Amino acid sequence: GRVLAPMGIVGTVCGVWMVLTWPPKPYDTAALHFLRVTVALCIAVFISLSLVAVRRGDIDAHGRWMTRAYALALAGGTQFFTHIPVLVDASLESDNVELVLMSAGWLINIVVAEWAIQRLGLPPTVAALLPCTENRCHADQLGGDAGIS
């Protein structure tokens, strides 16, 4: 985690740099660029929140935040599937279709991640932002050693 989390942040910075400096491809719009930068910033924020959580010994919150970051970061794989209609029929390509299909990949992944978090019975997102209490922190339940999982 001490190497992977910073590398995740570096990856988001590289992604933003690519969006802002590379020449646009067909069907790239300002709205799609804005969405790409927003998703990259969300990934960076989620990784940062996961680090804050693990530093305070809240392993469960750390896992929730990393799950969300991972879901957004891997949306490229889902976007392949959301783009199948355009691969089958190229006449569907347009700025708006590209925006919708890219958005669908990120949306599917984050919805599935939230569903998995809720399905596993983990506390809701808002609870992950709250300070640890005796009843909530995983590390407290394990005797205070945040390194135990």
Q: CA 69 to CA 33: how far, in whole Å?
A: 19
Tell me the mean pLDDT in the region 94-123.
Answer: 90
pLDDT value, residue 147: 39
Q: Are 50 and 65 in contact (CB under 8 A)?
A: yes
Decide if pLDDT at 86 tops 90: yes
pLDDT digits (tens, 9 = 90+) for 114-132: 999 988 765 555 455 556 6
pLDDT digits (tens, 9 = 90+) for 4-58: 899 999 999 999 999 999 998 889 999 999 999 999 999 999 999 999 999 999 9
Tell me the mean pLDDT in the region 62-87.
Answer: 94
Q: CA 93 to CA 141: how far, in whole Å?
A: 53
pLDDT value, residue 140: 42
pLDDT value, residue 134: 59
Mean of the per-residue pLDDT values of the chain: 85
Which amino acid appears at position 134 of this protein? E
Task: Give residue 99's pLDDT band: very low, low, confident or very high (50, 70, 90).
Answer: very high
Tell me the mean pLDDT in the region 46-74.
Answer: 94
Q: Are 40 and 16 in contact (CB under 8 A)?
A: yes
pLDDT value, residue 1: 74
Decide if pLDDT at 135 tops 60: no
